Structure 1
Amino acid sequence: MAFDTENDDLFDFIVMAEEKFRGEGYEEGFKKGTDQGLQTGRRHGASHGAQLSAEISFYYGFAATWKCLLQHGSEPKQRKRLKALESLLGLIQNSSCEDPKATKLKEDMEKLRCKFRQVCSILSIQADFKEYAKVSNGASF
């Protein structure tokens, strides 16, 4: 901004300079804040997505392993157990976990957790993903 003594007075120049610098400062701060917010959001999203993926993978591996172990049994209880395991596997395969923007993702995860607890009860075992996550996070190679 050039200062022209013939057309502008000093006071107007100072007032306008303050407005100009305030506006530029706001724009710069807004841009930096937006960039930082996007980076933080991406990190949080990736971390949360990895946690959900690990949990779903745990449930899938659990169900697939138990299904293999129980397939060849002939006890009447095993049919009920197999049916519960197949139901859990079906929930995993039909869940909206592939789409992170799905509105029913939270609902699907709650259904998976409930079904997992039900399967554990039917199998008369105590298994918990949270305990598994604590052990697997503490492991070092």
Structure 2
Amino acid sequence: MTESEDRITDDIDRADLFDSIICAEERCEKNGFLVGKKEGKDRGLKNGFQKGIGFGKQVGEEIGFYHGFVLTWKNILEKKDERNTRKMKAFASLLGMLEDFDLSNPSVDDYMVKLTQIRSKFKQVSSLLGVQLQHDDEDTERSNPQPLFSF
């Protein structure tokens, strides 16, 4: 190599060195953004999954509670020979709503509307029976173990 070729090579090497120093901040920023984005997405999915499981558990327990309540009282009233009463019609209506409620697909647009209707119908049925009753989550049940009604 000649002296002029060596100078050109040195100049190119120095330029590459300065470019790499100057661009280091940009590369680190870009890399940090990509790592942060991936970590944020992973955390978001994990937290969303946990929240979804918790909400699904609550709704499932509530629907199960209502279903058991309706079946129990329906059997009691049938034994008392009150088959054609307003209470039995309300029970049948609530039971139909519970059976039509799709627990497996909470993404349906009217999911919360249907759940609200079920809650309202349950209040109506409880009122017809003259019992004060509501479904509570586990924390409330632990703090107040006394049942709200008895037979």
Deviant stretches of 4+, over 4 Å: 136-139
Q: Which residue of 2 aligns with 1:120?
A: 126
TM norm structure 2: 0.79
| Displacement of 1:10 | 4.2
The answer to whether 1:57 aligns with 2:60 is no
> Residue 28 of structure 2 is aligned with which of 21, 25, 30?
21
Fraction of identical pairs, as percent: 33
Distance in structure 2 (CA, Å) of the matches to 1:28 and 1:131:
39
- Cα pair 2:82 2:88 within 8 Å, conserved: no
When Rg is computed on C-alpha atoms for both structures, the one with the higher figure is: 2
> Residue 40 of structure 1 is aligned with which of 22, 41, 47?
47
TM norm structure 1: 0.85
| Displacement of 1:96 | 3.2
SS in 2 for 1:96: coil
SS in 2 for 1:6: helix
Match for 1:26: what amino acid?
Answer: F
| Displacement of 1:22 | 0.8
| Aligned pairs (5 A) from 1:71-110 | 71-75=78-82, 79-110=85-116
The answer to whether 1:67 aligns with 2:56 is no
Distance in structure 1 (CA, Å) of the matches to 2:21 and 2:116:
61
> Residue 6 of structure 1 is aligned with which of 8, 11, 14?
11
* 1:47-88 residue CA offsets vs partner (Å, 9 max, x unmatched): 010000000000000001001111132358x62111111111
Superposition RMSD on alpha carbons, in Å? Answer: 2.4
Distance in structure 1 (CA, Å) of the matches to 2:48 and 2:38:
15
Distance in structure 1 (CA, Å) of the matches to 2:138 and 2:43:
33
Distance in structure 2 (CA, Å) of the matches to 1:30 and 1:18:
18
- Cα pair 2:87 2:125 within 8 Å, conserved: yes
Structure 2: stretches of 5+ with no match in the other structure: 1-8, 146-151
- Cα pair 1:96 1:104 within 8 Å, conserved: no
Match for 1:126: what amino acid?
Answer: Q
| Displacement of 1:98 | 2.5
